[in-house]
Chains A and B, each alone.
Chain A
Amino acid sequence: MTTRPYAAFRRTLSFADKFQEFHWPLLLVIVVVSCIGIAMLYSVAGGHISPWASKQMLHVSVGLVLLTAAALVDIRYWMNFAYPLYGVCILLLIAVEVVGHTGLGAQRWIQLGPIQLQPSELMKIALVLALARYLHGLDVEQVSKPLRLLVPLVMIGIPAALVLKQPNLGTAIILAMDGACLLFLAGLSWWWILPTGTAVAAAVPIVWQFLHDYQKRRVLTFLNPQNDALGAGWNISQAEIAIGSGGMTGKGYLHGTQGQLNFLPEKQTDFIVTSIGEEFGLLGCIALLLLYAAIIGCGIRIAMAARSQFGRLVALGLTLNFFFYIMINGAMVMGLIPVVGIPMPLLSYGGTAMLTVMFGFGILMSVHVHRQVEIPRHSGIIL
């Protein structure tokens, strides 16, 4: 990429320049995976374009527009928007909490005209942006100072607690992991990492051990009321049957029985991967994993190539966020971890999830487009 003449060297770029600097392979893989998702939605609907495939096409189209728009926005704008966006997201989470309690129970979204806004989804991006903005201003020694460290911990803790209270364990875990990874990448001292990591790793099983079975179940049920033990057990076993019955090459496109005959609940959202496993077998699943790995690889390379710490942290933070979705959803449908409500990015049916993921890729693309932009460490509002 160094052989090309860099328009990005310039501090300001025209729209045409920016288009030229797009990471087209990344965009191509994103579109390919999205199309696989649409094709699978067509299949699980029993070979019908409605109700999911047609709407998902719309989601993808709008998402690509959003991606492009976000990519064209200068990275420094994103840096300036980081804190306000974070603040708005916190307010939205609180609003959901209030509306949820007075309104429809465990409501996670706010209806804004035709758009269902799910603040917890947007929060992941806002948190990455805000943390990157904050960590951008710290050098390596400062990151590990207790007082300096308190700020990002609070920044992670507030949204995580709000999301956990919704309750949405999966998203809360992803928020915490996103934040922890950004701290790690910013150079947090091993003196913090190792004891804390050890303590957490040691405490979880010990605390878990002391819980009775029914308490464990109650904890899980409390955290995920929509997935009661029996329902989760049914989901998981049917998901395993779907994937496992695919064998090496699968039953063939449109010939998956588990999904089409409704044995898989949530087959169009969280469990879409099982249909790929059923219809395309191990080869199909590995191919999908490779496509995802390609996207993550692109994200890592974009992060490494960015000149500003903010850009690097944002790019890798968003990539990690993407990765955590894949990891948790994948492990869940393969029966490695309990059911938590996390969709498979780009594949699962859903407008908010698709738009958020595309928005994230838009900012990632923006980092790539503006990779040569340098941002001074101690910068307020810069432009």
Chain B
Amino acid sequence: MPLFDPKDKSRYAIFTRRTLMMTGTMTAVFAVLGGRLYQLEVLEGDQFKTKSEENRVSERLVAPPRGRILDRFGVELANNRRNFRVLLIPEQVTSSVRSALDEISRILFLPDRQRERVLREVNQNKPFVPVIVAENLSWEDFARVNLHLPYLAGVQPDVGQTRAYPFADELAHILGYVAAVSPAEQAAEPDPLLELPGFRIGKRGVEKEFETQIRGVAGVSRVEVNAYGRVVRELSRETGEAGSDVYLTIDHELQHFVAQRLGTESAAAVVMDVTNGDVLALASTPAFDPNLFNVGVSTAQWKTWTSDDHTPLINKAVAGLYPPGSTIKPAMALAAVDAGLEKLQVFCTGAITLGNHEFHCWNKHGHGHVDLHRGIVASCDVFFYEVARRLGIDRIEAAAHRLAFGAQTGIELPGEKAGVVPGRAWKEAHYGVPWQQGETLNTGIGQGYILVTPLQLCTLAARIASGNAVFPRITRIIGRTAEVRPELDRLAFSDDALAAVRSGMNGVTNQPGGTAFAWRIAQPGFEMAGKTGTAQVRVISREEHYAGVRKNQSLPWKLRDHALFIAFAPVTRPRYACAVIVEHGGLPEHPQVQMARDILLYAQQRDPLKLPTAYPLSAATAATRSGKA
């Protein structure tokens, strides 16, 4: 056994040489690795640091509490209610989600639809994302879940926040409602809050008008997340800004009364402070319960609302357009006195002929000798046909505009209609044919093309009562800013004209023979002055005129006249203006006048304007309180 192999020498030499070569190669490889490390960690290190932070840190929006909506006395009309809900965390469920739901439904009532939604959401989300099983629970239900909690793995009771409207449908048309964000709204606004699941925004009313202020500013919670998106811990929290509270000019007690008084009629009513246009009550009936939109309105419910001929979803007070009928006559009278027609005397035979067309008075027997005062008191159509004929459409148009018709009043509610004040240019633009004199006569009694909103009618009453060019306003303070109240202009009509019209309106209610004398306020000191109106919704043929116009009671509801009434009270030193319209309510018992009488009496007896408001004016800026008494 030779211990030393001579050939081994060359093998050893080659081995050594080649080992050195391999060592060199290995060193080169290590150098490459080191170089790559240098490149990654030093040259590109900052970029990777950023990426690692992006990986690690996730910013989560924290929804701010929505601002409250309060009435003039600080009563909450819309607030945030604690929402007792039950969440299910799928990954913590010991058995299957299905059997967990079975367990829960032994304690709570879970409709099948809700079960399906939960199962669907569980499948769509990662297993650590909590799914809402039930919300808006009563305290009893919530307490029962908490009691059984030890046996319910994966179930988590939770207290969230939901919008609540304590007065339900009484203020629905003023407040509006909140509901889930639509894709279009999300596209229109860049606020990332809108992308929060379950976030609600204002869809109508004050909720929509002041959405940006009420919503507040989102807080940001920076959290550390792992690769699966599970939150490991909170790194920092930037509290957002709570939404601003909005103080309305509404008196919730009066609003309650008005809404109750209108009842189930398809009607609208507005009550206003005549001195400054503060809206004290604004109701449109029937209404809806805005709380329902929180939980989600069922298709059946939505169909019921949209197919109802009483249109519960439309705020008739600002978005309902009606021919003013005889309620326009005080405005015509103002224009007449302004044009020097205060001494005008007309003999009413029950009709007036213009060309080959006969214009009828509502009283087909005629009123005999009629002057301005009697024209208003008896609401003589023939008198106002003559007034309109003498004024001409141009002066009527100008006067109507001066009284805030034909344009939005600017009330802080979305969807306000401007109405129509017809004129030569308007007719030309809309119909392409010139103005006819007969149309001037029709406009004189508030028929034809002219269309107004109940809010505009109430504004008319307030302007006549105060002599000021008031504009209706419904908000006073938003967050820390008070609405700027400009000095009000005097109405551009002479005091004589205003006095004459007021006296005429006083006669309507307080003078025997006045069209609303039967429904006057008899209590001394609370008397109201007003003007009735009837707006035709059908064409009355010539034959019918001769045969006798059909009584409204005999007509189907849809064909009956609209009944309107404007009023202010008390007669001396008026404070409250009111307009009421009852759709298709043209009945002999004048329901609209009775409503206005009760509303104005209640308003005066309660006298919310005398009560101290709860406006935090001292805390608010730009508080320029104005309005002359």
B residues less than 8 Å from A379 (CB atoms): 1
Interface readout for A351-371 with B: 1 if CB under 8 Å, 0 if not?
A: 000000000000000000000
| Contact between chains at A334 and B40 (CB < 8 Å) | yes
| Contact between chains at A257 and B18 (CB < 8 Å) | no
A335 to chain B, nearest CB (A): 8
Q: How far, in angstroms, from A282 to B41 measured CA to CA in the complex?
A: 6
A residues less than 8 Å from B228 (CB atoms): 262
Q: How far, in angstroms, from A261 to B40 measured CA to CA in the complex?
A: 21
Q: How far, in angstroms, from A137 to B205 measured CA to CA in the complex?
A: 99
| Contact between chains at A140 and B37 (CB < 8 Å) | no
Contacts A312-B15, A331-B33, A336-B36 known; A261 to B41 CB distance under 8 Å? no
Does B8 make an interface contact (CB < 8 A)?
yes
A residues less than 8 Å from B347 (CB atoms): none
Residue of B nearest to A260 (CB): B226
Does A293 make an interface contact (CB < 8 A)?
yes
Q: How far, in angstroms, from A374 to B15 measured CA to CA in the complex?
A: 16
| Cβ-defined partner of A246 (8 Å) among B33, B41, B224, B226 | B41
Contacts A262-B226, A320-B22, A376-B1 known; A334 to B56 CB distance under 8 Å? no
B residues less than 8 Å from A139 (CB atoms): 7, 10-11
A residues less than 8 Å from B1 (CB atoms): 376, 379, 382
Does B368 make an interface contact (CB < 8 A)?
no
- From B43-51, B494-502, B544-552, the one touching the partner chain is B43-51
Q: How far, in angstroms, from A238 to B54 measured CA to CA in the complex?
A: 12
Interface readout for B1-14 with A: 1 if CB under 8 Å, 0 if not?
A: 11111011011101
Known: A263-B55, A374-B3. 7 other contacts (CB 8 A): A244-B48, A245-B53, A247-B41, A261-B56, A261-B226, A300-B23, A304-B16
Give the contacts of B513-531 with A (CB-CB under 8 A): none
**Interface pairs (21), CB distance under 8 Å:** A140-B11, A181-B22, A187-B15, A241-B55, A244-B40, A244-B41, A244-B47, A245-B52, A247-B42, A257-B56, A257-B224, A258-B52, A258-B55, A261-B225, A261-B232, A277-B37, A282-B38, A289-B37, A336-B32, A336-B36, A377-B7
A residues less than 8 Å from B44 (CB atoms): 244
| Cβ-defined partner of B227 (8 Å) among A240, A246, A261, A336 | A261
Q: How far, in angstroms, from A376 to B7 measured CA to CA in the complex?
A: 11
Q: How far, in angstroms, from A374 to B9 measured CA to CA in the complex?
A: 13
| Contact between chains at A241 and B48 (CB < 8 Å) | yes
Does A186 make an interface contact (CB < 8 A)?
yes
Does B19 make an interface contact (CB < 8 A)?
yes
Q: How far, in angstroms, from A46 to B48 measured CA to CA in the complex?
A: 21
B residues less than 8 Å from A181 (CB atoms): 22
| Cβ-defined partner of B41 (8 Å) among A184, A187, A285, A293 | A285
A161 to chain B, nearest CB (A): 25
Does B26 make an interface contact (CB < 8 A)?
yes
Q: How far, in angstroms, from A323 to B24 measured CA to CA in the complex?
A: 13
| Contact between chains at A296 and B26 (CB < 8 Å) | yes
Q: How far, in angstroms, from A263 to B15 measured CA to CA in the complex?
A: 46
| Contact between chains at A316 and B22 (CB < 8 Å) | yes
| Contact between chains at A245 and B29 (CB < 8 Å) | no
Give the contacts of A288-333 with B (CB-CB under 8 A): 289, 292-293, 296, 300, 303-304, 309, 312-313, 316, 320, 323, 327, 330-331
B residues less than 8 Å from A313 (CB atoms): 15
Q: How far, in angstroms, from A142 to B603 measured CA to CA in the complex?
A: 121
A residues less than 8 Å from B11 (CB atoms): 139-140, 186-187, 309
B residues less than 8 Å from A244 (CB atoms): 40-41, 44-45, 47-49, 51-52
Q: How far, in angstroms, from A241 to B48 measured CA to CA in the complex?
A: 5
Please tell me the size bucket of the interface on A. Answer: 35 or more
Residue of B nearest to A290 (CB): B30
A residues less than 8 Å from B18 (CB atoms): 184-185, 187
| Contact between chains at B37 and A243 (CB < 8 Å) | yes
Does B263 make an interface contact (CB < 8 A)?
no
Does A248 make an interface contact (CB < 8 A)?
yes
A209 to chain B, nearest CB (A): 24
| Contact between chains at A309 and B15 (CB < 8 Å) | yes
Does A39 make an interface contact (CB < 8 A)?
no
Please tell me the size bucket of the interface on B. Answer: 35 or more
| Contact between chains at A376 and B5 (CB < 8 Å) | yes
| Cβ-defined partner of A263 (8 Å) among B4, B47, B48, B227 | B227
B residues less than 8 Å from A246 (CB atoms): 41, 45
Contacts A262-B227, A320-B22, A377-B7 known; A241 to B42 CB distance under 8 Å? no
Residue of B nearest to A181 (CB): B22
Give the contacts of A165-193 with B (CB-CB under 8 A): 181, 184-187
Interface majority SS on B: helix, strand, loop or mixed? Answer: helix
B residues less than 8 Å from A37 (CB atoms): none
| Cβ-defined partner of B2 (8 Å) among A282, A303, A376 | A376
| Contact between chains at A334 and B36 (CB < 8 Å) | yes
Does A286 make an interface contact (CB < 8 A)?
yes
Q: How far, in angstroms, from A247 to B38 measured CA to CA in the complex?
A: 9
Q: How far, in angstroms, from A164 to B56 measured CA to CA in the complex?
A: 38
Q: How far, in angstroms, from A312 to B3 measured CA to CA in the complex?
A: 16
Contacts A261-B56, A334-B33 known; A323 to B26 CB distance under 8 Å? yes
Give the contacts of B220-256 with A (CB-CB under 8 A): 224-228, 232
Does B34 make an interface contact (CB < 8 A)?
yes
Q: How far, in angstroms, from A313 to B15 measured CA to CA in the complex?
A: 9
Q: How far, in angstroms, from A312 to B13 measured CA to CA in the complex?
A: 12
Does A242 make an interface contact (CB < 8 A)?
yes
| Contact between chains at A327 and B55 (CB < 8 Å) | no
Contacts A245-B45, A246-B45 known; A377 to B19 CB distance under 8 Å? no
Q: How far, in angstroms, from A309 to B52 measured CA to CA in the complex?
A: 51
Does A119 make an interface contact (CB < 8 A)?
no
| Cβ-defined partner of A185 (8 Å) among B15, B55, B56 | B15
| Cβ-defined partner of B45 (8 Å) among A248, A320, A376 | A248
Does A343 make an interface contact (CB < 8 A)?
no
Residue of A nearest to B18 (CB): A185
Does A281 make an interface contact (CB < 8 A)?
yes
Residue of B nearest to A297 (CB): B23
From B22, B46, B224, name the one whose CB has the most chain A CB atoms within 10 angstroms: B22
Interface readout for B84-98 with A: 1 if CB under 8 Å, 0 if not?
A: 000000000000000
| Contact between chains at B41 and A248 (CB < 8 Å) | yes
A263 to chain B, nearest CB (A): 5
A residues less than 8 Å from B38 (CB atoms): 282
| Cβ-defined partner of A261 (8 Å) among B8, B23, B47, B55 | B55
Q: How far, in angstroms, from A83 to B16 measured CA to CA in the complex?
A: 26
| Contact between chains at B42 and A282 (CB < 8 Å) | yes
Q: How far, in angstroms, from A379 to B225 measured CA to CA in the complex?
A: 64
A residues less than 8 Å from B2 (CB atoms): 376
| Cβ-defined partner of B42 (8 Å) among A248, A296, A377 | A248
A residues less than 8 Å from B14 (CB atoms): 140, 185, 187
B residues less than 8 Å from A243 (CB atoms): 37, 40-41, 48
B23 to chain A, nearest CB (A): 6
7 smallest beta-carbon distances between A and B, as pairs? A244-B48, A245-B52, A261-B226, A262-B227, A282-B41, A139-B7, A187-B14
Q: How far, in angstroms, from A303 to B38 measured CA to CA in the complex?
A: 32
| Cβ-defined partner of A376 (8 Å) among B3, B15, B53 | B3
Q: How far, in angstroms, from A312 to B226 measured CA to CA in the complex?
A: 49
| Contact between chains at B33 and A289 (CB < 8 Å) | yes
| Cβ-defined partner of A140 (8 Å) among B3, B10, B42, B46 | B10
A residues less than 8 Å from B42 (CB atoms): 247-248, 282
| Cβ-defined partner of B5 (8 Å) among A263, A320, A377 | A377
B residues less than 8 Å from A309 (CB atoms): 8, 11-12, 15
B residues less than 8 Å from A334 (CB atoms): 33, 36-37, 40
A288 to chain B, nearest CB (A): 10
| Cβ-defined partner of A300 (8 Å) among B7, B19, B52, B56 | B19
B30 to chain A, nearest CB (A): 6
| Contact between chains at A282 and B225 (CB < 8 Å) | no
A residues less than 8 Å from B22 (CB atoms): 181, 184-185, 316, 320
B residues less than 8 Å from A184 (CB atoms): 18, 22
B412 to chain A, nearest CB (A): 49
Interface readout for A267-290 with B: 1 if CB under 8 Å, 0 if not?
A: 000000000011001100110010
